[in-house]
Structure 1
């Protein structure tokens, strides 16, 4: 890839093989050993927001569960184990996605620089890399209780199906939500030993949130997607995107509030309930801010708003954590 002239633009020079939508100057392109870069790019290590979005529902669940039933020392490992596991499984999932989508990616301007279509990694090597990441994540999973392990294994079905959803439905964002928020069920179960209604409400809230942010993301590719026959909620919603996102945003907030009320009303003090609901309100305020700043026809603005969802999701984590102390 050609190197930009920083004397004129003041921007960081583009690294060889850099992916188009990666943050300029990221650690993969500037600090990682050269031989690892194609594989780290395949895992989206140069685009970390997706790992955050996979991890955050796990942290919602473990902090809310701890606020509900009491903090356990194992919760520290659940927090850390989910973080490592999210990095690994997001990497494995993205590798699988790029293997299955390699022909589509070669036809889309934003994705043709990815490692497989650009020739940085062969399909065979990508498969090996995917398996290594998944097996390492499995070693973390088996440190949790039996019910959580079973849930983790069950999630592989959703991970396997997701890349194909865009071929047969305008709702691939729904399938992404089903897969990306599974950690809310797993982390709650890792703490409590069983599923509960608050975890299910968090899961549904996360699905609505995923449709919200991934529709914004999908608007970057809507013209290319329409040409090559790939479906998305961005194409489905069209001029009604703002209205539909408002509906899903409200749904995410209401469902999260139900999770807080279900978890804390009868098992924690009134202060904990109020603190938890403040976190929900902060989450809703961030989604509202995104809608106020949405321009679905500005790809750069869509990418910035998509990335901002890391901060939106961390707001409840902070307040659910404070509710443990209330």
Structure 2
């Protein structure tokens, strides 16, 4: 019997929720997102009749954007000026990463230069896929490379902070500094709705996420509110986000996935080692902790790295700002640099 689309989406969310609960009960790091991700990914690879809840993803990332924006305290404005040096080093870091990962995908994965460039760039999946479709690159290889990079990065960093550094990455942090009153709830809802609308109108990268984050950050930095979305809503958002990521592996054959995962593992490890080197340098120059710099430079998604930063009580504003600048650099330079690639 063939299930209707809504039933497949519901099944995917149920599997994701079970994965999140299982990871939480076992005490694994970042349980709600990683548990949902790995459970739905296993279901997708095994051929279960699942579909990603793509239509509710914008609302999900809006919730997470509002939540992360709640960490932009008035101190952020005073500290932001000192981060100019690290933002300058971010550009150099991206150049170093690209110089390693692009040739790696070209020769280790035996792809053409165009596909290797779009798979190896420390950039967002959406931007690289759109450029790949426009230029005739291998879009499936690009999707696998970036999706696996995010999965591996999130898993490695969460496990590192939990097992090596002993951080309680599995706990739900204190998102806000004030109780959630009705006026505060309305302000946060407005941040999500109006922020997402404004993000699209202003052509923000990842508008459903960046718009709510920016508006929430403004409200919190100016002390109009100090509240954050309730924990159950945030847990549900993480489960949905993890399920969407896991369902990206629908239709991927196990052997193809295994090869792509092996390639992505070493590319991600190389990138994280470069990030560690720059983290030590930036710590020495401006005094920001290496943990925060690694999260700011790590080749994971902005949303995912923001959640880990929140879980370990790192400076979410620092992490988010560097990922936003990274995305902007890619948007501005990816296409012009693409024209300089060798053919084939």
TM range (shorter): under 0.3
Query: Relative CO higher for 1 or 2, CA cutoff 8 Å, sep ≥ 6?
Result: 2
TM-score by length of 1: 0.28
TM-score by length of 2: 0.27
